[in-house]
Structure 1
Amino acid sequence: MKKDTIIIGTRSSKLALWQAEYVKGRLEEEYPGLKAELKLMTTKGDKILDAPLAKIGGKGLFTKELEAEMIDGGIDLAVHSLKDMPTEVPEGLVISAITRRLDPGDAMVSLRYRTFRELPRGAVVGTSSLRRRAQLLHVRPDLQIRDLRGNVNTRLRKLEEESFDAIILAVAGLRRLGFGDRITQILPQNMILPAVGQGALAIETRESDAELRRRIAFLNDEETVHCAAAERAFLARVEGGCQVPVGVYAAPDTAGSLCVEAVIASVDGMRLYRDRLSGPAGEAEHLGRTLADRLLDMGGLSILQEIGLLQNR
C-alpha cells in the first residue's frame, strides 16, 4: 500500500537540512500528490562539540539516533552525508540510494592567504579530521593543526573570530550552503585525498520497505554507487572501530572501469603510504579490498595498530 506522506529524518544543522530538503523536493517533484515531512533530530556528534571526533568514537556519531528512530518506525528514511556513514549498516536497514556526487575535494578557506603555499611557517590551520591533519602535515610538518568542531557556519565564524590562518572544509558542503565564494583554494588530490563518499548523499531506509525503496530508486546514481562501493570496501578492510587517517577516492577510468587511489598516514604525517589500482567497475568492492591490503602490507597496518593502542588508553 502506497503512503501519501513520507517522514524524512535529518540532523538539524543547516547542511543536513539542505540535504534533506533536496531529497524532499526531488520526491515531491517526482511524485505529485506525495507529501514529505522532515523530522529534526540531534545525534551524539552534534551534542559533543568540545572534544576531537577521534576521541568520541568514530562509528555512527552522526547516524545512530536516526537509524534507531527508523527501526522504531518514527521515520521512513534518513538522509546522510555518505562520508558520515559507518561501513556496517544496522540489521534491517539498507542504503537504498546514493546521489550523484558533487566535487569530492577539500577546500582551504582563509581571510589572508590566497593559496596553501602562501601559508607562513607555523601557520595555524583548523580541522577536526585526522585524515586532513595527517595529509597536510605530510606536506607541511611546520603547520600547527588545531581542532575545529561545529557545523559549517560555526567553523566559518571561528575562522573570523579565532586565530586561524586557514581552515579546511569539504567543497561540497560549502557549495550546497551557498558559501562557494568563500573557497580560497580547492586543495589538489595529489596533496590530500578525500574521505570515503565525500560529496555524495546516502538515503537509508528499512530493508523491508520495498515500495519506498522503489520510489527513491530514481535518485540512485550508478557511477557514484560503484565508486562508493570501492571506497567503502577499502575503509571496511582497514578500520578497527576508531577514526583512522585514511583517504580514498574512486573515479571512472576508461569505459566500464574504475581507478581507486588511497592513502594511510600516521597522525603526525611523518609516514604516509599511497597507491592506486584500476579494474572493472563491476568488481568495485574487490578493488577496494585489494588496494587496502596493498597499503596495509606497505606499512599501513603498523600505523593503524599504533593508533588503536593510543585511542584505547
Structure 2
Amino acid sequence: MTPLRIGARASLMSLAQSAPILANLAPTPMLLRPFFGAGGDREENRAPLEEDGVFSQEIEAALLAGDIDVAVHCLKDAPTHDTPGLTMAAYLRRDDIRDCLVTRDPEARLDTLPIGATVGTASVRRTAALCAYRPDLELVPLRGPVYNRLEALHRHDVDALVVASCSMERLGLRHRIGERINPEILCPPLGAAIIALQTREDDMDTRKRISKLHDQETEIEAEAERLVLRQMGGFCNAPLAGYCTTHDDCNSVTYTVRARAFSPDGGTVIDVRLTGENATQTAMAVCRQLTDHGA
C-alpha cells in the first residue's frame, strides 16, 4: 500500500497533535512531513496575525502540488474560505474549547489575581475580554509557542498567561492548568479545539483512508462556526469569537450558535446566541442579528 503522506507544521504543538492521528491511522503506512516555513511560526519576520492563513499557506501549496496527501490544521488557524481544489475532509472530535489561566501559583484564579498583575497574551479576543472583566490587570503582548510563553512566566516577565486548555493538554501540560475560564467570561475563538484534516478535493482514496477519524457532530459545529467567520469577515485574530454546541436529548437534536463581536478594548460588545434544529440556518440567523446590531 502506498504510504499516506501527511503534512504538518514543524512546531512542537503541531507535531504533538499530529501524533495521535498517526496512531489512530495505524496500520496504514504513513510518512510525516514537517513544514518549517509557516509565516505564523517563524522566530524572525513572523507574519502578523491580522493576515488570514498565516499558518497554512506553505502546507496548502504542497497539498495542491501533490507533495503531500493530507494537511493537518488547527481549524481556528486555517483559512476562513476553502482554497480552490482543497477540502476539509475530516474533523477530529473536538477538545475543550475553554481558555485557561496558568500562573506560578497553582491556586491562583482569574478573580484572585492582584490588582495590576501582568497577564501575557497577544490575542485581540483575549485582550478585549480581559479588559472588560478585569480592567485593573496589565496586559502584556506575548506571542509564540506555548513553551516560550511558559519561559516568560518563569522569568517573571509576566505574572500569568491565558492560553488554550487544549494546547496545554496536547503538550502533556494538563497539570499546569490553574483554572479553566468560563466561556461567558472569555468566549473562545470560532473553530476552537478542532483538528481538521485537509485533502485535495478530488482525492477520494485519501478521503476514504482517513474517514475513520471523522466526527460528524464536530463537523456540523465546525461548519456552522466557519460560516459565521465567512459571513462576518473574520479570521484567527479578528475581534470575533463564538462557538456552536450540540444538544441531543434522545428525542431531538438542536444546536446553539453563539457569536460575540467586540471592540479591541472590550468597551463595546455585541453578543448573540440562538438555538435551532439546523446549525447552518441558526448560524445565518446569528450573523443577521450581529449585522443588525452594528457588528
Q: Compute the TM-score of the two structures, normalised by the length of structure 1.
A: 0.88
Aligned partner of 1:209 among 180, 203, 219? 203
Corresponding position: 1:267 with 2:261? no
Share of identical aligned residues, percent? Answer: 35
Aligned to 1:298: 293
In structure 2, C-alpha distance between the alignment counterparts of 1:247 and 1:241, rounded to whole Å: 10
Question: Which residue type is aligned with residue 111 of structure 1?
Answer: R
Can you list the C-alpha shifts for 1:213-264, whole angstroms capped at 9, x where unaligned? 0111111111111111111111111126684211111111243110111211
User: Cα offset for 1:172?
Assistant: 0.6
Can you list the C-alpha shifts for 1:53-95, whole angstroms capped at 9, x where unaligned? 44xx331111110000111111111111111112212111100
Question: Which residue type is aligned with residue 133 of structure 2?
Answer: V
Can you list the C-alpha shifts for 1:88-127, whole angstroms capped at 9, x where unaligned? 1211110000000011110010114610011122221111
8 Å Cα contact 1:251-1:260 kept in structure 2: yes
User: Cα offset for 1:142?
Assistant: 2.2
Q: Structure 2: 5+ residue runs without aligned partners? A: none
8 Å Cα contact 1:52-1:149 kept in structure 2: no
Over 3 Å counting, the alpha-carbon distance change for 1:68 and 1:130 in structure 2 is same
Question: Which residue type is aligned with residue 135 of structure 2?
Answer: P
Aligned partner of 1:80 among 58, 66, 73? 73
Q: Compute the TM-score of the two structures, normalised by the length of structure 2.
A: 0.93
Aligned to 1:258: 255
Over 3 Å counting, the alpha-carbon distance change for 1:297 and 1:131 in structure 2 is same
Aligned partner of 1:169 among 142, 163, 171? 163
Question: Which residue type is aligned with residue 239 of structure 2?
Answer: P
Aligned residue pairs, count: 290
Question: Which residue type is aligned with residue 16 of structure 2?
Answer: W
Specify which structure has the higher proportion of helix: 1
Question: 1:147-166 to 2 correspondence within 5 Å?
Answer: 147-166=141-160
Aligned to 1:65: 58
In structure 2, C-alpha distance between the alignment counterparts of 1:121 and 1:52, rounded to whole Å: 33
Question: Which residue type is aligned with residue 287 of structure 1?
Answer: T
8 Å Cα contact 2:40-2:47 kept in structure 1: no
User: Cα offset for 1:151?
Assistant: 1.0
Can you list the C-alpha shifts for 1:113-153, whole angstroms capped at 9, x where unaligned? 61001112222111121111111111112222221111111
In structure 2, C-alpha distance between the alignment counterparts of 1:114 and 1:127, rounded to whole Å: 17
Over 3 Å counting, the alpha-carbon distance change for 1:139 and 1:91 in structure 2 is same
8 Å Cα contact 1:50-1:149 kept in structure 2: no
Over 3 Å counting, the alpha-carbon distance change for 1:207 and 1:59 in structure 2 is same
* Structure 1 stretch displaced more, 44-53 or 86-95: 44-53
Aligned partner of 1:141 among 132, 135, 144? 135
SS at match of 1:47: coil
Over 3 Å counting, the alpha-carbon distance change for 1:143 and 1:296 in structure 2 is farther
Q: Structure 1: 5+ residue runs without aligned partners? A: 301-313
8 Å Cα contact 2:40-2:46 kept in structure 1: no
SS at match of 1:103: coil
